[in-house]
Structure 1
Amino acid sequence: MDRSQILQRTPGLTARKLDTWTTGGLLRPTAGSRGTGNRRDWPATELPVIEAMVRLTAIGIPPKLAEQLARSGGEPVQVGGVTVHVDLTAPANQAAA
């Protein structure tokens, strides 16, 4: 998937944020699209990670932790001696209880 496809499918994501997360190593583009000056593409498997990161950062979770939680597969993540668990199966517009 190219940048325009990712941006179309992910409300709240900007091109700058997508590039920052990718160059910062939080997102994994396809092998041939790494480095500066190259067109980037992302495998479809990255879309759920990107969507989750957008949701998590929107509520104030730092991008690195958002990436860890998005890739955890629903499993708890240890952060500074605290166990963090996030249910990403809930709809994005559903308020947390």
Structure 2
Amino acid sequence: MAVRIRLARFGRKKRPFYRLVVADARAPRDGMYIEQIGTYNPMTDPAEINVKEDRALHWLFNGAQPSETAKALFVKTGVWEKFLSGKKQ
């Protein structure tokens, strides 16, 4: 099973709110997911990003592939740097 870390959209029309989820790559965008590992609210200034670092690193080290947007959020929060430094050891 291919596992992806991606965003699931919630919120009402023109007021998006996203959950950072770990899901099967074949599942629909807002469908079932394995685990929620964070949130992203682009409507606040600055955008609010919450990531459960330990769970995100767990999934990354176990082979989950982040989407481009999820990877950008990991870079902003510093999770991606910790993943790369842990991977080199």
Q: TM-score range by the shorter chain?
A: under 0.3
TM-score, with normalisation over the residues of structure 2? Answer: 0.25
TM-score, with normalisation over the residues of structure 1? Answer: 0.24
Structure with more of its chain in helix, by fraction: 1
Q: Which has the larger radius of gyration?
A: 1
